[in-house]
């Protein structure tokens, strides 16, 4: 795609790639039409097929498809017995759903700071553990991995469970293991801008524990044993069959998507390192494969840069300008400005640049040129 051809579009370098991804929808619509003829709209073989396919994809024994990634997190925590009076340790720089899931279970979120890679700082875990701590909820923020070995070691020493928020981690690996495969349960999202996305919302849970699997399977479907009997008071967290069809079609494309995103990220990393210290790229671990659901760097004069790039028709974003512990919803937790210096500093300087699989070299080069022009 040449810049001349896209000059009349809203963005020369768009952040949203969905119009290109779903430009040819015939294969999806053909299966939707078949579904309409079968009338198997609730769960059914298409959902079961996707659950089997995704379990194989990440190397898990069991997968449960849910309505969205938030439901997946809530279901995981409930399955592990997290309830009112419990504390769950997590990070303050994630999307709201991570902490919201903890609160939805009646538990109290306890934050610890992040490291220079925007990931949970495992060295701070011991100091945050109390007699009420029941679980650790690390986040694969942006599609990169925290130090899961260190996190699991702490959890094992203190008899804590680990739920992984791998909502941005589909297709990523950590030390040659799929993201979301280190704790008792891993949670994933198929929000439209994830590496595996559907035409709406969707989520998944994976586990190797058959008892947890059976409990979550039942709770997801109102606690029903069968049509006429319930074993527990559950809720409806089912993945829509329409979205399972989309997920089955898109799942085989994920490895190439991750490969393309990594190539684009490598290009940006190499080009932007020349602007240090005004632009700081995080350390990349050679033993990991990131998904680059978000490509984030720290920038001097961030707000001015975002405004400048948007003026150049580059759709830069900020994830996020206000950490969770400083949000209005978190006032009751007792945190204040300065509680988590790294997360707060990053929130003031972080920028997200488009890195998706549909960008071409001219778009990447144009974006780098504009950033260099801003600073030089």
Q: In the predicted model, what is the mean pLDDT of residues 310-325? A: 97
Residues 186 and 39: beta-carbon distance below 8 Å: no
Cα–Cα distances (Å) from 253 to 13, 31, 203, 249, 347, in that order, read: 22, 18, 17, 8, 33
Express each pLDDT in 121-131 by its tens digit.
Answer: 999 999 999 99
Q: How would you label 247-256 residue by residue, b for 16+ Cβ within 10 Å and e otherwise? A: bbebbeebee
In the predicted model, is pLDDT for residue 4 greater than 70?
no
Q: Where along the chain do the CATH 3.40.640.10 domains lie?
A: 26-252
In the predicted model, is pLDDT for residue 8 greater than 80?
no
Q: What is the mean pLDDT of the chain?
A: 95
Spatial separation of the C-alpha atoms in residues 182 and 321, rounded to whole Å: 30
Q: Where along the chain do the CATH 3.90.1150.10 domains lie?
A: 3-12+253-375
Express each pLDDT in 85-122 by its tens digit.
Answer: 999 999 999 999 999 999 999 999 999 999 999 999 99
At 75, the pLDDT band (50, 70, 90 cuts) reads very high
C-alpha torsion 193→198→200→206, nearest 10: -90
Residues 6+ apart with CB under 8 A from 148: 138, 164, 174, 175, 182, 183
Q: In the predicted model, what is the mean pLDDT of residues 354-368? A: 97
Least-confidence region, from 39-43, 203-207, 251-255: 39-43
Express each pLDDT in 265-281 by its tens digit.
Answer: 999 999 999 999 999 99
Share of the chain above pLDDT 90, in %: 92
Q: What is the CATH number of domain 3-12+253-375?
A: 3.90.1150.10
Given this model, what pLDDT does residue 9 score?
59
Express each pLDDT in 144-164 by its tens digit.
Answer: 999 999 999 999 999 999 999
Is domain 26-252 annotated with CATH 3.40.640.10? yes
Q: Which residue has the tokens 């527990």?
A: 232
Q: What are phi and psi of 228, to 5 degrees?
A: -110, 0
In the predicted model, is pLDDT for residue 5 greater than 90?
no
Count helices and strands (H / E) in the chain: 14, 15
Given this model, what pLDDT does residue 193 score?
86
Express each pLDDT in 166-225 by its tens digit.
Answer: 999 999 999 999 999 999 999 999 998 899 999 999 999 999 999 999 999 999 999 999
Residues 115 and 342: beta-carbon distance below 8 Å: yes
Q: In the predicted model, what is the mean pLDDT of residues 328-335? A: 97
């Amino acid at each position: 795609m040449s810049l001349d051809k896209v000059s009349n579009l809203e963005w020369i370098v768009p952040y949203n790639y969905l119009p290109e991804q779903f430009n040819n929808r015939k294969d999806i619509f053909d299966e939707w039409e078949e579904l309409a003829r079968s009338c198997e709209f609730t769960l059914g073989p298409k959902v079961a097929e996707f659950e089997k396919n995704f379990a194989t994809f990440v190397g898990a024994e069991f997968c449960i498809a849910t309505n969205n990634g938030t439901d997946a997190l809530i279901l995981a925590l409930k399955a592990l017995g997290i309830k009112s009076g419990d504390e769950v340790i997590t990070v303050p720089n994630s999307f709201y759903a991570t902490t919201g899931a903890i609160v939805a279970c009646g538990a109290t979120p306890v934050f610890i700071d992040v490291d220079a890679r925007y990931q949970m700082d495992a060295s701070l875990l011991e100091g945050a553990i109390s007699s009420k701590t029941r679980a650790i909820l690390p986040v694969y923020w942006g599609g990169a991995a925290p130090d899961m070995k260190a996190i699991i070691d702490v959890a094992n020493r203190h008899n804590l469970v680990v739920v992984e928020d791998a909502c941005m981690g589909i297709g990523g690996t950590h030390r040659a293991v799929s993201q979301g495969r280190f704790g008792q349960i891993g949670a994933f999202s198929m929000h439209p801008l994830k590496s595996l996305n559907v035409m709406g919302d969707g989520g998944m849970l994976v586990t190797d524990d058959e008892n947890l699997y059976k409990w979550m399977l039942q709770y997801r479907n109102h606690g029903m044993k069968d049509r006429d009997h319930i074993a527990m008071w559950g809720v409806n967290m089912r993945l829509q069959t329409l979205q399972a069809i989309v997920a089955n079609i898109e799942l085989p494309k994920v490895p190439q998507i991750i490969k393309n995103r990594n190539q684009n990220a490598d290009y940006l990393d190499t080009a932007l390192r020349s602007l240090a210290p005004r632009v700081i790229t995080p350390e990349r671990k050679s033993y990991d494969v990131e998904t680059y659901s978000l490509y984030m760097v720290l920038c001097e004069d961030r707000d001015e840069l975002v405004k400048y790039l948007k003026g150049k028709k580059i759709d830069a974003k900020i994830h996020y300008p206000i950490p969770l512990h400083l949000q209005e919803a978190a006032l009751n937790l007792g945190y204040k400005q300065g509680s988590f210096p790294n997360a707060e500093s990053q929130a003031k300087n972080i920028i997200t640049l488009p890195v998706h699989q549909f960008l071409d070299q001219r778009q990447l080069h144009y974006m780098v040129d504009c950033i260099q022009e801003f600073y030089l």
